Amino acid sequence: MFKGFKDFIMRGNVVDLAVGIVIGAAFTALVTQFTSSFLKPLIQLIGGSSEHRTGAQVTVRGATFAYGDFINTAITFLLTAATLYFLVVFPMNKLAERRRRGQEPPPAAPSEEVRLLTDIRDALVTAQRASGRAQAPQDPPPPPRRPY
């Protein structure tokens, strides 16, 4: 059960999709903040009045440019992207590279139950050959991989 889950998670497209969704959400916030901080005030600027400055925003002729909010959202986006890259994408790429080079540890030896069943199968094949009744059975093909 856990091997199937591990195989599912380790598939490249699952990780790419998860990263894409998170980056997409952060980028949506970035674009939304840019719109409310710059584009809306720019449209208001067409008919505004005087100019004065307060904190992390500038008001020009009645249009307020909240550049501090935009910079905050941009930094949040960059931090989110960097965190995802260094904690998810980079380790997954390293693991995939090791697998390609064959540096992944060898799979665990078959369990005692599997070894016993293999011995029983081999003994039955030997007995069938000795009596001349049947040919050695072939191992069944692996089950097809289901797409997720």
For the stretch 66-89, pLDDT in tens is: 887 888 888 888 888 888 888 888
Residue holding tokens 């998170």?
Answer: 22
**pLDDT tens, per residue, the chain with 148 residues:** 778 777 777 776 777 888 888 888 888 888 888 888 887 787 777 656 555 555 677 888 888 888 878 888 888 888 888 888 888 888 888 888 887 887 666 667 778 888 888 899 999 888 888 887 655 556 677 777 766 5
Length of the chain: 148
- Please report the pLDDT score of residue 113 as a whole number: 86
Among 65, 85, 94, smallest CA distance to 19 is for 85
Q: What is the pLDDT of residue 71?
A: 84
The closest alpha carbon to 100, from 2, 12, 1, belongs to 12
Q: What is the 3-state secondary structure (H, E, C) of the chain?
A: CHHHHHHHHHCHHHHHHHHHHHHHHHHHHHHHHHHHHHHHHHHHHCCCCCEEEECCEEEECCEEECHHHHHHHHHHHHHHHHHHHHHHHHHHHHHHHHHHHCCCCCCCCCCHHHHHHHHHHHHHHHHHHHHCCCCCCCCCCCCCCCCC
What residues form DSSP beta bridges with 57? Answer: 54
Q: State the pTM of this model.
A: 0.48
Per-residue pLDDT at 42: 79
Task: Say what the pLDDT of residue 32 is.
Answer: 84
